[in-house]
Amino acid sequence: MSIHIKPIGIIQTPYKQKFAIPRQPGLVPSALGTIFFENEFNDPNYLRGLEQFSHLWLLFNFHQTADKPHSPLVRPPRLGGNKKQGVFATRSTFRPNNIGMSVVEFVSIEQKNKQLSLVVRGMDLLDGTPILDIKPYIPYADSVPQANGGFAHTAPTLMQVEYTAEANEQLLYLQNNETNLKTLISEVLSQDPRPAYQTSKEQNKPYGMTLCNLNIQWRVVENSNIVFSVEKIN
């Protein structure tokens, strides 16, 4: 049996590459994303009543890794990247059917030039991710306070993020009123985006990521991320 699925929309997010995207939703609350609906779903009736809910489930397609093979065992970053778990015992992106699910915060419904869009906050999705479905988050049924979260029971510890004087100056120059860039960068880097197997070893090595239209570079010194360059990509 095979099932055909048609995306209902595409999400636009600050995350232009897989590297440095938070590993679960809610970890970077200042990141805003906008779902633009496909023609067939470009009708506000589909969203009527959605604004009553503070949070939503997004079901989506891990489109960037969809053509990669999956195997029964994966190495979750939370286990240091060297211990294997069954793929169905993880939230790995490399899985049969490539379906992702994330709880995000509802922000607003917009309509500009007949294009309907839905703004959400805190997603862990790559820019351009196809959205398959949206459902309201229902606390009484979806939240299980006594649940055991296995190897990922608690949120990861956060790293400190500091800026060199030069990076601060660059930020001041680039800052627009829509997003607080520094907060966004700090929230992303506090998650320690380095591959799990590297974290204990590499010191002083420069890392780079693209966020919105910015190229951000930092170094890890002891347990801090030191941002030394924030540049606009032309």
What residues line the site for ligand SAH (CB under 6 A)?
18, 21-25, 62-65, 91, 93, 100-102, 124-126, 129
Q: Are 9 and 15 in contact (CB under 8 A)?
A: no
Closest approach, Cβ 143 to ligand SAH, in A, equals: 16
d(CA 170, CA 141): 46
Instruction: Give the end-to-end CA distance of the chain in Å, rounded to a whole number.
Output: 47
Q: Which is nearer to ligand SAH, 126 or 181 (CB)?
A: 126
Instruction: Decide whether 18 or 135 has the Cβ nearer to ligand SAH.
Output: 18
Say which amino acid occupies 97: N
The C-alpha atoms of residue 184 and residue 186 are separated, in whole angstroms, by 5
Written as six digits, the tokens of 200 are: 């204990």
Q: Shortest gap between Cβ of 232 and ligand SAH (angstroms)?
A: 24
Is 158:217 a contact under the CB 8 Å cutoff? no
Give the residue with the Cβ less far from ligand SAH, 23 or 70: 23
Nearer to ligand SAH, 44 or 195 (CB): 195
Query: What is the closest distance, in whole angstroms, from the C-beta atom of residue 68 to ligand SAH in the complex?
Result: 9
Contact at 8 Å (CB) between 93 and 19?
no
160-163 and 224-232 as β-strands: parallel, antiparallel, unpaired?
A: parallel
CA distance 98 to 69: 10
Non-local CB neighbours of 38 within 8 Å, separated by 6+ positions: 6, 7, 8, 9, 10
**Please, which residues have CB within 8 angstroms of residue 143's CB and are 6 or more apart in sequence?**
none
Least distance from C-beta 140 to ligand SAH, angstroms? 21
| Least CB distance to ligand SAH at residue 78 (A) | 11
* Residue 114: CB minimum distance to ligand SAH, A: 27
Whether 159 contacts 218, CB under 8 Å? no
Given the complex with ligand SAH, which of 193 and 220 has the nearer CB atom? 193
Looking at the Cβ atoms of 25 and 167, the one nearer to ligand SAH is: 25
